[in-house]
């Protein structure tokens, strides 16, 4: 059968699982897309995937997980791109847009440790925690300044293998990814938001396409989750105002309440955990982006011009 849609994605197990989920949802919405070969998954290796021996902050930030995929969209070698929204920059290339957000998974972080340790408070003094995320590093060190944090990259299996080999005493991974890979049963503990506020848009899958591609936009419309979009809009608006990068520990989580209300928790920290600024704001879900921008502006005013790392 002739291919109708080409989905661009990274080649990691999680990225492929997300692309396959997108393809399944497209097939459920449009029977012609459920036929074998109608939707092709195109694996694109990104700079972020190729360079595994350094922290993202050292090689240019999270945009390195999307740059080559967006280039493929622009040159029309793919029709849509599936991203983990936490990896998507707040500024998109001209002519591209996030047209669809799938229903969000659990946004929290999972804790893994050797020797049956049940959480951050169970780590012994001097324990080594592995993570490539400055957001996680800052919050770990703020709570446990007596432990060490080392750079720890790789996919889920490689990180868990390194943990089992004793390279570190503990590590953290997103609950959403573990659930999408059917590995949630391996989680030691799920950290509450007051201990580990998630990354902006963690657990959300975004689908990017060309703004002028009416055919793809029509296909994506039935897949879009408006509730997820409201939450992500608030979190990304906060991030955009702070102009954060991978060198800046920033976290945010929006939750929807009764009566069309939304609550937003935001955090900015020093990488060493020595200083953390956190706030909570509530408002109408219809004004999610404005609420996020206001929260970001307040955090920016609190920390001053010299706090954020360039």
Active site residues: 87
User: Would the CA dihedral through 73, 74, 75, 76 be positive or negative?
Assistant: positive
Spatial separation of the C-alpha atoms in residues 23 and 38, rounded to whole Å = 9
Neighbours of 164 (CB within 10 A): 10
Neighbours of 113 (CB within 10 A): 21
CA angle 295, 98, 61 (to 5 degrees): 65
Helices (H) and strands (E) in the chain, counts: 10, 13
Contact 269, 275 (CB under 8 A): yes
Q: What six digits make up the tokens of 197?
A: 């506020």
Which DSSP string corresponds to 235-278? HHHHHHHHT--TTS-EEEEEEE-GGGEEEEEEEEE-TTSS-EEE
Q: Which long-range contacts (CB under 8 A, 24 or more apart) does 95-98 make?
A: 95/210, 95/211, 95/212, 96/70, 96/208, 96/209, 96/210, 96/211, 97/208, 97/209, 97/210, 97/211, 98/206, 98/207, 98/208
On the 0-12 / 13-18 / 19+ scale of CB atoms within 10 A, 306 is exposed
């Amino acid at each position: 059968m002739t291919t109708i849609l080409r989905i661009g994605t990274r080649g990691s197990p999680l990225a492929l699982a997300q692309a396959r989920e997108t393809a399944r949802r497209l097939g459920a919405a449009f029977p012609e897309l459920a036929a074998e070969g109608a939707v092709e998954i195109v694996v694109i290796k990104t700079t972020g995937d190729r360079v595994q021996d350094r922290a993202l902050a050292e090689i240019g930030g999270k945009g390195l997980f999307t740059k080559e995929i967006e280039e493929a969209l622009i040159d029309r070698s793919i029709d849509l791109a599936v991203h983990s929204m936490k990896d998507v920059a707040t500024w998109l290339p001209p002519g591209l847009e996030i047209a669809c957000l799938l229903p969000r998974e659990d946004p929290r972080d999972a804790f893994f440790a050797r020797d049956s340790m049940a959480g951050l408070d169970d780590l012994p003094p001097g324990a080594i925690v592995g993570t490539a995320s400055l957001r996680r590093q800052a919050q770990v060190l703020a709570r446990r300044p007596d432990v060490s944090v080392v750079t720890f990259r790789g996919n889920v299996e490689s990180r868990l293998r390194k943990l089992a080999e004793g390279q570190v005493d503990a590590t953290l991974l997103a609950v959403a990814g573990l659930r999408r890979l059917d590995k949630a049963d391996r989680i030691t503990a799920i950290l509450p938001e007051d201990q580990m506020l998630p990354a902006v848009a963690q657990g959300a899958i975004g689908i990017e396409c060309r703004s002028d591609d009416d055919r793809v936009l029509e296909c994506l419309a039935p897949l879009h989750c408006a509730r997820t979009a409201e939450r992500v809009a608030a979190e990304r608006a906060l991030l955009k105002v702070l102009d954060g990068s991978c060198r800046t520990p920033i976290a945010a989580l929006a939750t929807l309440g009764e009566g069309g209300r939304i609550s937003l928790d935001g955090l900015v920290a020093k990488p060493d955990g020595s200083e953390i600024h956190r706030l909570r704001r509530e408002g109408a879900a219809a004004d999610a982006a404005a609420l996020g921008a206001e929260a970001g502006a307040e955090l920016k005013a609190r920390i001053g011009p010299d706090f954020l790392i360039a």
